[in-house]
Amino acid sequence: MRRALILLAAAGLAAAALGWWLTAPARLAPDVFDGITGDVTQGAAVFTAAGCASCHHAPGATGEAALVLAGGQRFDSDFGTFLAPNISPHPEAGIGGWNLAQFADAVQRGVSPEGAHLFPAFPYTAYARMTPQDVANLWAYLQTLPASDTASLPHEVGFPFNIRRGVGAWKLLFFRPDWVRPADTPQLERGRYLVEALAHCGECHTPRNALGALDTGRWLAGAPNPNGKGEIPALIPNALDWAAQDIAYYLETGFTPDFDSAGGHMAEVVANFGRLTAADREAVAAYVKALPAP
């Protein structure tokens, strides 16, 4: 009996050690950004397409004030309430003390400079598909924005979801930065890049499983609103019968073919897409029209 208990304890320790190793934060390769220099102008376009200000400006901020990325907006979910952090270039309160590699680890791998897992409420599972050049461009642009000394507020997430190492297990199960849909033309490739990576459309328009991971088998098939109020619409053919030009026009103006208009968080998405090129909006429309019926 004593020997059996010793063997059982040893097996438990070995399993715990294996689990600890498997759920360790994984960073990008150290040479990813060798020879890459960020471009501020291109970074501004990435910033807009990715909707960084939409989540990270202070609650209620508009106009130029929305470029002060002080954080503080609240995002409800089944697992608790997440609060957007300060990502302004302030050296203490924001991310001004980070370097490009640390920024990229956060944006594309969900790992903080201190080596902690970040909650996937931050859509790094989509941003993982960004090109290294665009990550460097975005980092260069962020350095030009105003700094804010507003302290980031802690997330309101209870046990067991507040265990950061548990996020490592979640990543092990669900973090797959592969493309969801094929793209066989340059326009569809651009549309896919915008939808699946920069604009992270799937984060809202795709249903999730019980552990909060996107159900890519029902890609862009609509989902409950995380705040519990209503549904986020599906973009697949049996649910959205708009023509490609209607989709592109909606992304530019917020007006639907039946004379309705975008509201809620989608209004900010439209404001972002309205600042992109017409070719980008047309690429997104082409991607949506190429989605398969369920």
Tens place of pLDDT per residue across the chain (294 aa) = 766 666 666 556 555 565 655 778 989 998 999 999 999 999 999 999 999 999 999 999 889 999 999 999 999 998 999 999 999 999 999 999 999 999 999 999 999 999 999 999 999 999 999 999 999 999 999 999 999 999 999 999 999 889 999 999 999 999 999 999 999 999 999 999 999 999 999 999 999 999 999 999 999 999 998 777 788 999 999 999 999 999 999 999 999 998 888 888 899 999 999 999 999 999 999 999 999 987
* Domain layout of the chain by residue ranges: 36-174, 186-289
Residue 65 per-residue DSSP state:
G
For residues 124 and 107, the answer to whether their CB atoms sit within 8 Å is yes
Total number of residues shown for the chain: 294
- Written out in words, the top-level CATH class of the domain with range 186-289 is mainly alpha
pLDDT value of residue 263: 82
Which residues, including other chains, have CB under 8 Å from residue 194's CB and lie 6 or more apart? 49, 280, 283, 284, 287
CA geometry: angle 196, 197, 202, nearest 5 deg: 40
pLDDT value of residue 19: 63
pLDDT value of residue 132: 97
